[in-house]
């Protein structure tokens, strides 16, 4: 997956906001998996994945139904953003653990 920018987080949060709360964690993991797969596709073939884009989290999120971005004091949106950040942190922690095992 490409490096994550603030726009990636906002796009993912808006995609989660369009879903019922119970479906958000799974949807977030699926977005990460799709972004990783799209980035591998881009690197292997030199072009964007036809459905999931260029390997960025935003390109995956923008292909999904999304709610309009609310203000950051919207409690439901805050929950969505926390879901995005928790998934990114867990992904980074797993990757760091793999790096430690290789050294």
pLDDT tens digits along 70-91 = 999 999 999 999 999 999 999 9
* Alpha-carbon gap, residue 32 to 88, rounded angstroms: 8
Q: Is 89 inside a domain boundary?
A: yes
* Predicted TM-score of the model (pTM): 0.91
Q: Is 61 inside a domain boundary?
A: yes
Q: Which domain holds residue 59?
A: 6-98
Residues 6+ apart with CB under 8 A from 9: 57, 81, 84, 85, 88
Buried b or exposed e, range 28-54, using 16+ CB within 10 angstroms: beebbebbbbbbebbeeeeebbeebbb
Q: Is 103 inside a domain boundary?
A: no
| Count: domains in the chain | 1
Given pLDDT bands bounded at 50, 70 and 90, which one contains residue 95? confident
Supply the pLDDT for residue 101.
Answer: 60
pLDDT tens digits along 16-68 = 999 999 999 999 999 999 999 999 999 999 999 999 999 999 999 999 999 99
Phi, psi of 69 (to 5 degrees): -70, 120
Q: Is 10 inside a domain boundary?
A: yes
């Amino acid at each position: 997956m490409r490096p994550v920018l603030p726009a990636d987080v906002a796009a993912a949060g808006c995609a989660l906001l369009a879903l019922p709360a119970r479906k958000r964690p799974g949807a977030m993991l699926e977005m990460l998996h799709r972004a990783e797969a799209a980035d591998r596709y881009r690197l292997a073939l030199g072009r964007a994945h036809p459905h999931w884009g260029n390997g960025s989290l935003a390109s995956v999120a923008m292909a999904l139904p999304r709610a309009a971005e609310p203000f950051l004091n919207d409690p439901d949106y805050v929950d969505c953003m926390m879901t995005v950040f928790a998934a990114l942190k867990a992904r980074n922690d797993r990757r760091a653990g793999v790096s430690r095992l290789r050294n």
